[in-house]
Amino acid sequence: MRTPSNLTARSRRLIELLGPPRSQKKTAFEFSPRDWNELYKNGRHKTMWELEGPSAGAVVLAALLPPGPGARLLDIGCGAGADSIHFARRGYAVTAVDIGAAALQRAQANAEAAGVATIQWIEGDIRRLELARGDFDLAHDRGCLHCLPLNDWPAYGNSLYSLLKPKAPLFVFGCGVAESAFFAPLTGQTLAQLKPWFSIEVFDEVQHCSATGHLRGGFGLLRRRA
Ligand SMILES: C[S@@+](CC[C@H](N)C(=O)[O-])C[C@H]1O[C@@H](n2cnc3c(N)ncnc32)[C@H](O)[C@@H]1O
């Protein structure tokens, strides 16, 4: 893990919250499924990323790209499922994947409470998801890609390339701490790692606030290469 001296105190605090224990002198770090389960069980997800309803990005996406008949959407790192539920309500056939069983349990309970029974929930790692090739018309990612170590972003691109139909859109939102290799913000530069598999149609940086301080964030609309 890199902690350059020019990080703000708030960024350092965030790295402490999200990073490995100080005792672990690792240069690269990644949450395991167990770590994710822990975050969902101890309630950290509520202060760090979970919304009570769908995210602004999901609402705009579903409004601008309404599903054609039978259109399939992959929600990547679905967490407690608020966005998956929104897409299903808007008519998408939703497959929602998350690496953590605890997140999926919350998501399924939320879907049941919302009366949405059509979502396919899958516990799995987006970098190596064994699903039929070329099945999805659209993919949505709020906050999963930025959780992967930067050197794994190509595995993410490769996996999604095989899951999506040619020219299918991929919408990503991410935020992070500048200079962090394990919680890297979406920037034009980091996103460029996906270029062998996706063209970047739109990318803009946004100011993203959280309880722990200001993070650098970005929205990207990518398109799977034909
Ligand atoms: C920051 S949370 C965002 C959750 C949800 N999208 C939301 O907006 O509330 C990131 C989610 O990605 C999941 N995740 C992390 N790595 C993953 C991976 N390799 N494959 C699938 N899901 C993953 C985590 O378990 C977590 O639920």
> Which residue is associated with the tokens 């309970």?
109
Q: Domain containing 121: what range?
A: 9-15+30-46+54-224
Contact 205, 187 (CB under 8 A): yes
Share of the chain above pLDDT 90, in %: 61
Q: What is the pLDDT of residue 179?
A: 64
- Measured by CA distance, the residue closest to atom 27 of ligand 1 is 79
> Does any ligand 1 atom lie closer than 6 A to the CB of residue 81?
no
Indicate which CATH number applies to the domain containing 160: 3.40.50.150
Ligand 1 centre and the CA of 180: distance in Å?
Answer: 18
Q: What is the pLDDT of residue 49?
A: 87
In a domain, 1, yes or no: no
Q: What is the pLDDT of residue 45?
A: 86
Dihedral sign, Cα of residue 57, residue 203, residue 49, residue 137: positive
- Measuring CA to CA, which residue among 159, 152, 223, 141 is closest to residue 190? 152
Of 11-15, 76-80, 116-120, 162-166, the range with the lowest mean pLDDT is 11-15
Main-chain phi, psi angles of 78, to 5 degrees: -70, -15
Type of residue at 63: A
Q: What is the pLDDT of residue 4?
A: 42
For 202-224, the pLDDT digits (tens) are 999 887 666 556 677 899 999 99
Tell me: pLDDT of 157 over 70: yes
> Does any ligand 1 atom lie closer than 6 A to the CB of residue 89?
no
In a domain, 20, yes or no: no
In a domain, 172, yes or no: yes
Tell me: pLDDT of 17 over 60: no
Number of domains in the chain: 1
Spatial separation of the C-alpha atoms in residues 53 and 81, rounded to whole Å: 9
What are the tokens at 143?
Answer: 């906050």
Q: Which of 48, 99, 173 to mutate to test the pocket of ligand 1 (most atoms within 8 A of CB)?
A: 99
Q: For the packed helices 101-114 and 82-89, what is the interaxial angle rounded to 10 degrees?
A: 40
User: What's the chain's average pLDDT?
Assistant: 86
For 106-116, the pLDDT digits (tens) are 999 999 999 99
Residue 218 sits at the vertex; the CA angle it makes with 40 and 104, to the nearest 5 degrees, is 25
- Measured by CA distance, the residue closest to atom 15 of ligand 1 is 144
Global confidence as pTM: 0.88
Q: What is the pLDDT of residue 177?
A: 74
In a domain, 22, yes or no: no
In a domain, 207, yes or no: yes
For 178-209, the pLDDT digits (tens) are 666 667 778 888 899 999 999 999 999 887 66
Spatial separation of the C-alpha atoms in residues 123 and 105, rounded to whole Å: 10
In a domain, 81, yes or no: yes
SS3 70: coil
Spatial separation of the C-alpha atoms in residues 90 and 180, rounded to whole Å: 36
Tell me: pLDDT of 226 over 80: yes
In a domain, 180, yes or no: yes
In a domain, 25, yes or no: no
Q: What is the pLDDT of residue 88?
A: 98
